Chains A and B, each alone.
Chain A
Amino acid sequence: MKKNWPLWEVFVRSKNGLEHRHFGSLHAPDADMALKNARDVYTRRNEGVSIWVVESKNIKASNPDDNGEMFEPATDKAYRHPTFYDLPDDIEHM
């Protein structure tokens, strides 16, 4: 049975105001069942307030072989980080 069921990726929002984060994956025959399975597998200890599921095949992933051209050009460009000015004291939580 399992080999007929597609794989789904599960995203859970832990609290209102936070973003959905990738929690893991699971097998399910369709989207409704994937949502129910996700509820049972990933939120049974009160981990979330909202769940997204998406079939894994619909995710386009970058190829690790391309990491050179994809990511390395950014490593020596520290000036792109917003760290070159002083924060006023009144600004909290930065």
Chain B
Amino acid sequence: MTNENLIHYIHGIADNSMILGQRISELCGHGPNLETDIALTNIALDLIGQTRSYYQYVAELSPKDITEDDVAFLRKEREYKNVLLVEQPNTDFAYVIVRQYFFDVFHYLLLKELEKSKNVNFQAIAKKSLKEVSYHKRFSGDWLKRLGDGTEESKQKTQQAVNDLWVFTDELFHMTKDDQVVADAGFGVDNSTLKSEYYTMVKSLLEECKLLIPEVEYFQKGGKKGIHSEHMGYILSDMQFMQRTYPDMKW
């Protein structure tokens, strides 16, 4: 296992949190009400905070003289390895919650395994993040129940979000070559082993919410290899605006 394998593996985990954190932070000041606005902003901050630990580690491992900010803000679109799910737009509150729940369950299962990594950095990050992510999962799961089993309108909108976002769930369990090398070395997690538990958990909650589980044969993929949807460019142009316009700026 080379440092390069490890760096790519970390991008695969951290970029999910980075891009989802950026996505949710778009809602800051635009939440459906003050309380939910603060809750979502908290989640965004948790996720972005987690990526700092990962990117600091990347900067350490990199042969180049770079910082966490270079890793976060100065890569090109193809160099981000997040899954397509997290870059999907905030179409409405149902989408925000369903996207969050689909990601939170995966994130939770991943971190529980990453805590057992042979790598002490991964152990420490996973241990700290797991508390935050357990809360995210409760928040999105509770909202999903309320929306799915709420009014006729909330049910219909939530079902629409579930149907549209379901096709992005399979990619969470894909393994790149780097992922496999790092997992084989005992440092990383083999995501494919999380799949059955993931679908058991998600399906049981959807049933409890009286939502239908979509039946699809074709799932979307590409983000993990750097091939993103049209939304990604817009996210990056917002996110990287400062560093691109004023290179090397400092607070």
Residues of A within 8 A of B (CB): 1-2, 5, 26-29, 32-33, 36-37, 40-41, 44
Contact = CB atoms under 8 A, between A and B. Distances in A.
Contacts, number: 31
Contacts of A5: 33
A44 B33 contact: no
A80 to B, nearest CB: 43
Contacts of A27: 33-35
Interface of B: 32-36, 38-39, 42, 138-139, 142, 146
B146 A44 contact: no
B142 A41 contact: no
Main secondary structure of the interface of B (DSSP, over half): helix
Given A1-B33, A2-B33, A29 B38 contact: no
5 contacts: A2-B33, A26-B34, A33-B146, A37-B38, A44-B38
A41 B38 contact: yes
A70 B58 CA distance: 66
A36 B39 contact: yes
B85 to A, nearest CB: 24
Nearest to A34: B35
B139 A36 contact: yes
A28 B32 contact: no
A32 B143 CA distance: 11
Contact of B142 (A1, A2, A26, A33): A33
A40 B142 contact: no
A40 B40 CA distance: 9
Given A32-B142, A33-B142, A40 B32 contact: no
Contacts of A37: 35-36, 38-39
Contacts of B38: 37, 40-41, 44
Nearest to A42: B38
A94 to B, nearest CB: 40
A75 B143 CA distance: 51
A2 B142 CA distance: 18
Give me the 4 closest cross-chain CB pairs, A-B, nearest first. Answer: A37-B35, A40-B39, A40-B38, A2-B33
Among A5, A27, A36, max chain B CB count under 10 A is at: A36
A49 to B, nearest CB: 15
B27 to A, nearest CB: 14
Contacts of B139: 36
A33 B39 CA distance: 11
A1 B39 contact: no
A26 B146 contact: no
B42 to A, nearest CB: 5
B146 A28 contact: no
Contacts of A41: 34-35, 38
A40 B146 contact: no
A37 to B, nearest CB: 4
A29 B35 CA distance: 11
